[in-house]
A = this chain, B = another copy of it.
Amino acid sequence: MGSAIAANLVRAGHTVRVWNRSAEAGRELERLGAKLAGAPAETARAEVLFSMLADDDATRSVLLGGGVLDAASRGLIHANLATVSVAFARELAQLEGARGIDYVAAPVFGRPEAAQAAKLNVVTAGDAAAIARLKPLFAAFAERVWPISGAAERANVVKLAGNFMIASALETMGEAAALVQAHGIGAGEFLEVLTSTLFAAPVYQNYGRLIAAKRYEPAGFKLALGLKDVRLVLEAGGDVHVPLPFASVLRDHFLEALAAGRADQDWAALAAIAAAHGPPQPRDP
């Protein structure tokens, strides 16, 4: 994901210095014209720093542990594209603000293919002037930018709430498919009706196909990461005393999926858990 974004920035003519845990991804970007940073801190001597790390811990260890913030150029804008927790986004914004860095939360919606095709949707929050300056850069990899007013971490709330909506759609289709199949109706036959009409949206159409075909590998987005995000959603709810009963069901089913050895499958495999709770399924017609 990060590589696809960096490649698009290079292609758009920007000077890009990259650092990646895996050296190979770096070399490929170098071939495209990017410069390689020998250490994370070198990436902060720039006008803008984009980061896209796996989770809170990875972000913390690279940015804080790797001395990135201490090396920052005066007036650096840091756009964090990753899905991190709301609490950590708030903490980072404060830490960076204290050092004169403009922290912009800029989590993205879209699969790796969308990143390559420059069709991501970026949700942003933070300093308005900084976001304005980022606009031409976002244009290199995003279809559209969705600014949210207020503190930076609000963009993370939106991203997490969106991922919750996707996971809920997966569970919904999984339960509905289990129901119709137990009545002898093919999941594909059923989902075709709904995803051509009231639910004619990318999430339902794309995942509906995977669920109907029970095709959970290779993973576009791993189930274990889905659980991570649902945990962040529950945490974001817990922080402000908002119960989220659907998210609680999702957490339980993601855990069951992990217990069943499905961690590396696509998170659409949530549907396999709904099916496993019912009777042995008749074959699709």
Contacts and interface: CB of A to CB of B under 8 A. Distances in A.
Given A165-B176, A241-B259, A279-B240, A193 B246 contact: no
Nearest to A195: B201
Contacts of A192: 146
A183 B245 contact: no
Contact of A246 (B172, B238, B256, B279): B172
Interface string A68-98: 0000000000000000001000000000000
A200 B121 CA distance: 13
Name the prevailing secondary structure of the A interface residues: helix
A278 B149 contact: no
A168 B203 CA distance: 15
A178 interface: yes
A64 interface: no
Interface of A: 86, 109, 121, 123, 144, 146, 148-151, 153-154, 157-158, 160-162, 164-166, 168-169, 171-173, 175-176, 178-180, 182-185, 189-190, 192-194, 197-204, 231, 233-234, 236-238, 240-249, 251-253, 255-256, 258-259, 277-279, 285
Given A148-B193, A182-B242, A240-B279, 17 more contacts: A148-B189, A151-B184, A153-B183, A158-B193, A164-B176, A166-B198, A168-B172, A175-B244, A182-B237, A200-B201, A201-B201, A242-B278, A243-B256, A245-B245, A248-B249, A252-B277, A256-B277
